[in-house]
Amino acid sequence: NHPEAAMGLAGELIERLGVKADASLADSLEALCLAIFQRPPTPAESEQALAFVERRRAASGKPDPRSEVLEFAGLLLCANEAIYLE
């Protein structure tokens, strides 16, 4: 769960999924959850994702969809539910 490793994996994942640079987290969340958890997001997870974006935008003062998707993907990769197989 090293932050730099998680962000590197997150970048590779969103590239592999074909997430466009201007895609919002709301548009990308289902693909991320399917890739990481092998299931769609729950309603609670969808709400948490939207709250994450709102908090991040309030802190930074501007929207940055690519960074929001990248950072949230990194958080999902660090979740206890994520399983890594070699």
Q: What is the pLDDT of residues 22-71, one digit of tens each?
A: 999 999 999 999 999 999 999 999 999 999 999 999 999 999 999 999 99
Q: What is the pLDDT of residues 28-42, one digit of tens each?
A: 999 999 999 999 999
Query: Which of 37, 42, 18 lies closest to 75, judged by CA?
Result: 37
Distance between CA atoms of 80 and 86, rounded to whole angstroms?
A: 17
Query: Tell me, what amino acid is at 28?
Result: S
Q: Which residue has the higher pLDDT, 51 or 82?
A: 51
Q: pTM score, two decimals?
A: 0.87
The ranges assigned to domains in the chain are 3-77
What is the reported pLDDT for 3? Answer: 75
What is the reported pLDDT for 84? Answer: 66
